[in-house]
Structure 1
Amino acid sequence: MRIVFRCDPALRETLPRPLPASQALPAWLREMPGTAFSDLHGRDVRTVKQCPPFVDAMRHGFVMRLPCDVVVADGRFSWDWDLPPLAGETQPRSPLSFHAPAQVAGSPLAAEGRTLIKFNSFWTIELEAGYSLFATHPVNREDLPFRTLTGMVDSDRFNAVGILFPAAWIDERFEGVLAAGTPVAQCFPVSREAMSLAFEDLTPERIDAHDDVANALHATPGVYRKIYRDKRPSSDR
Structure 2
Amino acid sequence: MRAPDTILPLRAEGLGFTAAGTPILSAVTLEIEAGPPTLIIGPNGAGKSVLLRLLHGLLVPSAGRVVWAGPAAARRQAMVFQRPVLLRRSVLANAIYPLKLAGVAATSREARARAALEMVGLAALAQQPARSLSGGEQQRLALARAAALAPEVLFLDEPCASLDPAATRAVEAIVATLAARGTKIVMTTHDLGQARRLAGEMLFLHRGRLREQTPADAFFNQPATPEAAAFLRGELVW
Q: Calculate the TM-score normalised by the size of structure 1.
A: 0.28
Higher relative contact order (CA 8 A, sep 6+): 2
* Higher Rg of the two aligned structures: 1
